[in-house]
Structure 1
Amino acid sequence: MQVLRTPDDRFQGLKDYDFASNYLTLSGPDAIRMHYLDEGPASEGPVLCLHGEPTWSYLYRHMIPVFTAAGHRVIAPDLVGFGKSDKPVARADYSYQTHVDWLTDAVIQLDLREITLVCQDWGGLIGLRLWADMPDRVARVVVANTALPTGDHPMNDAFKSWRAYSQAAEPFNSGRIVHGGTINKLTDEEIAAYNAPFPDESHLAGARQFPMLVPDSPEDPAAEPNRQAWTVLHTLDTPVLTLFGAEDKVMAGVDRVFQKLPGAHGQPHALLPGAGHFLQEDVGPELARRTCDFIASTPVS
């Protein structure tokens, strides 16, 4: 497997991103390096913040200080192919299952327990599978503008449009994509920060491939594993809170699917006004505060 590593100087001086970098080497013959942030007291059950497409841990920069100020530990990894993590060059090296396996390996290596899972976009498609596979490690879940598709229902037109764009766009401008998925919009400096991991097209295989890995038919390789995950999730009483950006057209209505889970009953679910798909950008501090309140109201017994 050919793997690239974005030069460190691409990440110098990013505004509001002055966190210490941590790295681990994932299991397997290719020695892929994953980058992650680890802030706050190590003794606490962590808030595991999972980003999606085409972002990285920079997405959580406005939320991490809220969590740590409340006394919580925060782990925010860069998924393989994104941020400061290594980037396999061949698109065939990325699959839904390999992403699940990579994250699972990281959780085991870090021995994370009593996790508060905060997942958005592909962070949910991967993180919810991890929850189903390792329910004993997850204390509670915040579902934010994400899904766990099985391919049994047609994708909406907004997603189809995005997927087509992601394959045809030249160049693939990650920062402008995030900008388009927010209500408050990004500064030029923030747009540049989202483009920092991708100095050229050779680094973009993971970002290009993600939209094609969403199960869109019942025969998709990830369809049956996701169905099995749903079966498990419906047996769990893990507390679940949905916090969705009200202006997100791609994920509109998906929050109600998660509100049917046993642990979601009676929780203070919310559609957050003035927030789009990347609600961490639009209402990050509010999202963090609501998560802190959720943690306080659902103590581990």
Structure 2
Amino acid sequence: MDVVRTPESRFDDLPGYPFAPHHVDVQASEGPAVRMHYVDEGPRDGPPVVLLHGEPTWSYLYRTMIPPLVDAGRRVLAPDLIGFGKSDKPTRIEDYTYLRHVEWVTDWFESLDLTGVTAFVQDWGALIGLRIAAEQEHRFGRLMVGNGFLPTAQHSTPLGFRVWRAFARYTPVFKAGLIVQAATVTRVPRAVMAAYDAPFPSSEHLAGARAFPQLVPTEPDDPAVPANRAAWDALGRWEKPLLCVFGAHDPILGKADRALIEHVPGAKGQPHDRIRAGHFIQEDAGPELAARLLTWG
């Protein structure tokens, strides 16, 4: 497995992102150890909040949520998934699998020995985070989901997602900043769009971003389906609080909250909502999400 790292100079003077870098080597069951970057702000003995991003963003997506959570006494951790942000980037699409992503993030949780976590998960952060929460419930206290789900290949795949999957694989120009702008309801400043592009200075840095849509298990014979169905069954017994706050203007996932709310026992009676935001709900409404998380618990 060939791995590249984005030069640190690409991350100089990013607007709204003053956070010190932290790194830990993570290991999947197959392949070499790779270095994962993460933000770790606030008191080390504070209640831990883990923020998991998705495709094609990185911890920068949480820059407006982190400060208010820290000000409220939370320890806030936001990893960059492997292939994204300041984390290592295997250079072949084939180097990325759903299982490896789950195992890399699981190893990160274990390396930091995180327990009692309140997790906010979105997009692939939900595909990974919900799976880990179901498999390692003892590490989690609460789950907050924004525009995410756990696929089990039991429903038809929306046309919009099939188009996105083809675009991500084959488009010659793949700009994360433009993708974020296209899936928000607010204007994203040019400097912020450039910050989303910063991790990807060349095509070999983009393999993880191009791989993610291909890894969503949409067919019953996908190798991720048995574990995801087991995780979905486990979430059907999840009694801890689960809150859905979704961006109502996401044409693919804007209504995916319904299945979670109906399936998870811990979702009963929670203050679920759909707000004026797109798929990248953190970019549209980061401070509001932080305030809702703090009010909720």
| TM-score (norm: length of structure 1) | 0.96
8 Å CA contact retained: 2:254, 2:279: no
Instruction: Please give the residue correspondences for 1:163-242 in structure 2 after superposition, counting only pairs within 5 Å.
Output: 163-242=165-244
State the match for 2:27 in structure 1.
27
**Equivalent residue letter for 1:265:** K
State the match for 2:55 in structure 1.
53
State the match for 2:73 in structure 1.
71
CA distances 1:132-154 after superposition (whole Å, capped 9, x unpaired): 11101100000110010111111
SS at match of 2:23: strand
8 Å CA contact retained: 1:45, 1:112: no
Alpha-carbon shift at residue 224 of structure 1 (Å): 1.3
Task: Provide the rounded CA distance (Å) in 2 between the counterparts of 1:197 and 1:64.
Answer: 20
**Equivalent residue letter for 1:89:** T
Task: Provide the rounded CA distance (Å) in 2 between the counterparts of 1:182 and 1:252.
Answer: 12
8 Å CA contact retained: 2:46, 2:74: yes
8 Å CA contact retained: 2:84, 2:209: yes
Alpha-carbon shift at residue 185 of structure 1 (Å): 2.3
**Equivalent residue letter for 1:20:** A
SS at match of 1:119: strand
State the match for 2:273 in structure 1.
270
Task: Provide the rounded CA distance (Å) in 1 between the counterparts of 2:2 and 2:172.
Answer: 23
Task: Provide the rounded CA distance (Å) in 2 between the counterparts of 1:13 and 1:44.
Answer: 28
Alpha-carbon shift at residue 82 of structure 1 (Å): 0.1
State the match for 2:93 in structure 1.
91
SS at match of 1:259: helix
Task: Provide the rounded CA distance (Å) in 2 between the counterparts of 1:217 and 1:151.
Answer: 5
Tell me how large the CA RMSD over aligned residues is.
0.9
Q: Does 1:292 align with 2:294?
A: yes
Alpha-carbon shift at residue 100 of structure 1 (Å): 0.2
CA distances 1:137-196 after superposition (whole Å, capped 9, x unpaired): 100000110010111111111111211211222111111011101010211101110000
8 Å CA contact retained: 2:114, 2:139: yes
Task: Provide the rounded CA distance (Å) in 1 between the counterparts of 2:197 and 2:171.
Answer: 14
1:117 to 116, 119, 130: 119
Q: Does 1:10 align with 2:10?
A: yes
**Equivalent residue letter for 1:24:** V
**Equivalent residue letter for 1:266:** G
8 Å CA contact retained: 1:141, 1:239: yes
SS at match of 1:141: strand
Alpha-carbon shift at residue 91 of structure 1 (Å): 1.3
Alpha-carbon shift at residue 252 of structure 1 (Å): 2.7
Task: Give the gaps of 5 or more residues in structure 1.
Answer: 296-301
2:250 to 248, 251, 254: 248
SS at match of 1:244: strand
Task: Provide the rounded CA distance (Å) in 2 between the counterparts of 1:252 and 1:119.
Answer: 14
8 Å CA contact retained: 1:141, 1:241: yes
State the match for 1:299 in structure 2.
none
8 Å CA contact retained: 2:241, 2:266: yes
8 Å CA contact retained: 2:248, 2:278: yes
Moved more, 156-165 or 21-30: 21-30
Identity of aligned pairs, percent?
A: 50
Task: Provide the rounded CA distance (Å) in 1 between the counterparts of 2:254 and 2:279.
Answer: 10
**Equivalent residue letter for 1:16:** G
SS at match of 1:204: helix
CA distances 1:183-233 after superposition (whole Å, capped 9, x unpaired): 102111011100000001010110000000001111111111110001111
CA distances 1:31-73 after superposition (whole Å, capped 9, x unpaired): 3100000001110231100000000000000000110111111
State the match for 2:43 in structure 1.
41
Task: Give the gaps of 5 or more residues in structure 2.
Answer: none
Instruction: Please give the residue correspondences for 1:121-136 in structure 2 after superposition, counting only pairs within 5 Å.
Output: 121-136=123-138
8 Å CA contact retained: 1:45, 1:113: no
SS at match of 1:286: helix
Task: Provide the rounded CA distance (Å) in 1 between the counterparts of 2:27 and 2:171.
Answer: 34
